[in-house]
Amino acid sequence: MAYITYVIKIMGIDVMKVHKFFWAIALGLVLTLSLTTVPSLASEKKEIEQKKAEIRKMAKETLNRLYQVQPSAKKTISKSAGYAVFSNFGMKIFLVGSGTGKGIVFDNKTNKQTFMKMIEGQIGLGFGAKKFRLVWVFEKHKDVSGFINSGWEFGGQTSAAAKLGDKGGAFAGALSVSPGIWLYQLTDDGLALELTGKGTKYYKDDDLN
């Protein structure tokens, strides 16, 4: 820098003017970057909030549907340690099926909301598209935290072990997938009484949290 200043002096150019010129260019570049970055960040934030709002709306609609077909679920969910609501869209072509979905976990103890993702893969003869909603209910808070932080993965053993709750009990219409963890499955026809979310993995959505 000192050498450049020396050359400029030899050439008879005003050093202060040169410095001001370069500072003006630098300031202009900073302002240009700021003007392009701020709208971009604002647009990204707006998109994230829109996605969150859509998931919350889906959760509300799903719970309303569940309470219509299984009224006892409302009291059960309100007294639980927490619950999660997911919406899935699956496609099966011949022997291989897959699906993705999004959801939200409500922690009744902390009132915190955590956004999640799900992905599934199934093997079995069939063809067509399938949509369903899932409502998880956790009796213990440690299971809420575990679901959020460690996720959940349905394997063949879990699928085979899932049992329908007592028809006259608090969890009527829900499947017991693990001690203290229940699952309601909603299709267009109502509650599904057999586990349909086989080979499904649940994990935290880092983009929305």
- Upper half-sphere CA count for residue 183 (Cβ side, 13 Å): 25
The length of the chain, given as a count of residues: 209
| pTM of the shown model | 0.73
For residue 108, what is the DSSP state?
A: T
Residue type, 5: T
Helix (H) or strand (E) holding 131, with range, is strand 113-138
- The two tokens of residue 60 are 């509300």
Tens digit of pLDDT per residue, the chain (209 long)? 554 454 445 555 454 554 555 555 655 565 555 555 555 677 888 899 999 999 999 999 999 999 999 999 999 999 999 999 999 865 444 444 456 789 999 999 999 999 999 887 654 444 444 678 999 999 999 999 999 999 888 764 444 455 666 555 788 889 888 899 999 999 888 887 777 656 788 999 999 99
Where exactly are the structural domains of the chain? 66-204
